[in-house]
Amino acid sequence: MKLTGADIVIECLREQNVDTIFGFPGGAVLNIYDSLYKKGEGIRHILTSHEQGAAHAADGYARATGKPGVCIATSGPGATNLVTGIATAYMDSIPLVAITGQVPSTLIGRDSFQEVDITGITEPITKHNFLVKDVNRLAETMRMAFEIATTGRPGPVLVDICKDVTADETEFIPFDGRKRLNLDIKDLYTEKDLDEAAYAIQNAKKPVILAGGGTIIAGITDLVLELSEKMMIPVSTTLMGTSAIPSSYPLYTGLLGMHGTRVSNKAVSECDLLINIGARFSDRVISDMKRFAPYAKIMHIDADPAEINKNISVHYPLTGNTDKIMKGIIERLKKVERSEWAEQVLKWKDEYRLVIPDNGQLKPSYIIKKFSEMVPDAYVTTEVGQNQIWAAQYFDYKFPRQYISSGGLGTMGYGTGAAIGIQLAKPGRKVINFAGDGSFRMNCNELATAVYYKLPIVIALLNNGTLGMVRQWQTMFYGGRHSQSTLDRGPDFVKLAEAYGAIGIRVTKKEEVVPAIEKALSQDSVPVVIDFIIDIDERVLPIVPPGKGIDQLIYT
């Protein structure tokens, strides 16, 4: 049957079982939106306030479900407004398909109205991208885009479609189910490698596991726990690995690195074998490379060979299907009944437990812990800065994908858009966005989206009237010179919420916290902004000073 390019886009989305897309229309994608109107049954379109919000919402949808998120924007500024969201997904290995419109193929390169080279712009921040100038290539390209985004190490793919292509017709052949590309993860390890890895683990005196975001993406968190339980190995996580291990798991020691717990950083600093599973050894984890795990052999299990030896030299590299690698190692190990090392780490965990003095002030730790107690199965998203670390530290996580945050790019303005995507993906669950007032200013326009679609997301605004992490660094490392970090200006966030049709609540005292949360959680079709007024000099602790090792924490 003959279809227009616009109809082919819709058919290809349906073939991929896409049920939700996020976007904002414009001239170059009008044909696609017209086809969506006429033939888009079963595909829900969410009209966001800004294209960046669409990208973040698609990202949040993908992180919560494991399925690819889809966003759409017009050419020129519409496409460039997606760039930050695409980069966010790229840094955190999130499957995303971004569809953009382009000027007609005959006008490319003529500085036409709303023309930008979006494939050139996004080349460094996509797994792959395409410019489609021939309708006969459109269906194949769309199918490859989804295959690339979801196969192997996931990531974003952009499909830029010329406007004339969306109007042209061609014969459409339904999807035959075949893969177009050979992108499956390649196993680069041998049976001997598994033998050596198992021997190293079996004979280590002080092993530690580091679980990264890759354990969640690959769905192997249960195997990480199995390895830890069988061999009595303490487990720490990266920020992206938060929620991979239940907070209540006895051998879980918390975050590692710049804002790591004292017990995690001490254990890694003294361990003789560090087993990295699905983490990329970012600078926020290793800090001073010379002081990182100085006594340890390093084992790195990862799907992507490009990560091996990139930041840290590895003694036991294992790349390929991480599920098969983990199972191959575990089956070779003999169970450990008792571990003096694990007992020592548990003593440190108790000794170094982070205790916040109760001075009667409204504290972020108290707020987040109350949310954790009152809605333990909520999905948590964050903005970036102090709120992001507090949420990782103080909420008790129970299942993978429960904590959703921009880890690699550190995108302020991420949380509200992501919360919208998560709430649409998980309509029966509560979604809490722990936000700072600085970040929330960057995306508060998406409250209009949440209100219109009756999404009961809760924005827990930890409002300290400043760019909190910037101010903390200026206080600690820049002689207290608070250059351009104080937000001594509007808006009134309660009035802002009400202006959008949401519910706004202000909390200034501890005794107001629980009633405010109760009111927020009672809503089933209205977003709520709770403006928690906290002290301007609240700090994230522990912290590793710049240039120092992870064993040189400041924790008071």
Question: What sign has the CA pseudo-torsion 448, 451, 456, 461?
Answer: positive
The helix (H) or strand (E) run that includes residue 386 is helix 386-394
Residue in this structure with the two tokens 């709303």, named with its chain if needed: 114
Helices 5-15 and 30-39 cross at an angle (nearest 10°) of: 60
**Whether the Cβ atoms of residue 530 and residue 543 lie closer than 8 Å to each other:** no
Q: Which CATH class is domain 2-171?
A: alpha beta
Q: DSSP class of residue 504?
A: E
pLDDT band at 358 (very low <50, low <70, confident <90, very high): confident
Give 114's DSSP letter: T
CATH H superfamily, domain 191-351: TPP-binding domain (3.40.50.1220)
Of 1.20.120.80, 3.30.800.10, 2.40.430.10, 3.40.50.970, which CATH number belongs to 364-533?
Answer: 3.40.50.970
Closest CA to 29 of 67, 63, 72, 82: 72
The active-site residue, picked from 15, 67, 114, 310, is: 114
CA distances for 534 relative to 360, 413, 521, angstroms: 12, 20, 21
Catalytic residue, chosen from 11, 51, 115, 383, is 51
What is the distance between the alpha carbons of residues 243 and 265, in angstroms, rounded to a whole number?
18
d(CA 132, CA 72): 15
Catalytic residue among 38, 113, 495, 509: 113
pLDDT at residue 356 above 80?
Answer: no
Tokens describing residue 71: 């966003």
- Residue 1: pLDDT band with limits 50, 70, 90: confident
Binned at pLDDT 50, 70 and 90, residue 177 comes out as confident
Residue 357 has pLDDT above 80, yes or no: no
Give kind and range of the element (H or E) at residue 497: helix 493-500
- Can you give the pLDDT at residue 394? 97
Instruction: Provide the token pair at 285.
Output: 């984890």
Contact 547, 286 (CB under 8 A): no
pLDDT > 70 fraction of the chain, expressed in percent and rounded: 100
Per DSSP bridges, beta strands 69-73 and 96-102 are parallel
- Reported as a single tens digit per residue, the pLDDT across 107-142 is 999 889 999 999 999 999 999 999 999 999 999 999
Confidence of residue 432 (pLDDT cuts 50, 70, 90): very high
What are the residue boundaries of the structural domains of the chain, listed by start?
2-171, 191-351, 364-533
Contacts with 165 (C-beta within 8 Å, 6 or more apart), sequence order: 5, 105, 132, 133, 134, 135, 138
The rounded distance, in Å, linking the Cα atoms of 138 and 229 is 50
Instruction: Determine the Cα–Cα distance for residues 363 and 311; give it in Å rounded to an integer.
Output: 36
| pLDDT for res 178 | 81
Q: Which of 163, 266, 363, 370 is catalytic?
A: 163
Rounded to an integer, the average pLDDT of 83-87 is 98
pLDDT tens digits, one per residue of 23-37: 999 999 999 999 999
Q: How far apart are the first and last CA of the chain?
A: 70
pLDDT digits (tens, 9 = 90+) for 249-305: 999 999 999 999 999 999 999 999 999 999 999 999 999 999 999 999 999 999 999
**Facing residues of 529 across strands?**
459, 504
pLDDT value at position 556? 84
To the query of whether residue 163 is one of the catalytic residues in this protein, the response is yes
Neighbours of 274 (CB within 10 A): 27
Q: Per the residue annotation, which of 142, 232, 299, 469 is the catalytic one?
A: 469
Domains 2-171 and 364-533 share a fold: yes
Sheet with 156-162: strands ordered across? 44-47, 20-24, 69-73, 96-102, 156-162, 128-132
- The pLDDT tens digits for 188-213 are 999 999 999 999 999 999 999 999 99
Report the run of H or E that residue 431 belongs to, with start and end. strand 431-436
Q: What is the DSSP letter of 371?
A: H
Could you confirm whether 469 is annotated as catalytic?
yes
Strand, helix or coil for residue 72: strand
- Quote the tokens at residue 432: 């809490």
**Predicted pLDDT at 176:** 86
* Neighbouring C-beta atoms of residue 545, cutoff 10 Å: 15
The fraction of the chain above a pLDDT of 90, given in percent, is: 95
C-beta neighbour count of 343 within 10 angstroms:
10
pLDDT per residue as tens digits for the range 303-351: 999 999 999 999 999 999 999 999 999 999 999 999 999 999 999 999 9
Confidence grade of residue 184 (pLDDT, cut at 50, 70, 90):
confident
Contact status, residue 39 vs residue 10, Cβ threshold 8 Å:
yes
Per-residue pLDDT band for 359 (boundaries 50, 70, 90) equals confident
* Burial (Cβ within 10 Å: 0-12, 13-18, ≥19) of residue 524: exposed
Closest C-alpha among 126, 123, 121, 130 to residue 80: 121
Could you tell me which of 26, 25, 22, 2 has the C-alpha nearest to residue 13?
Answer: 22
The structure's pTM equals 0.97
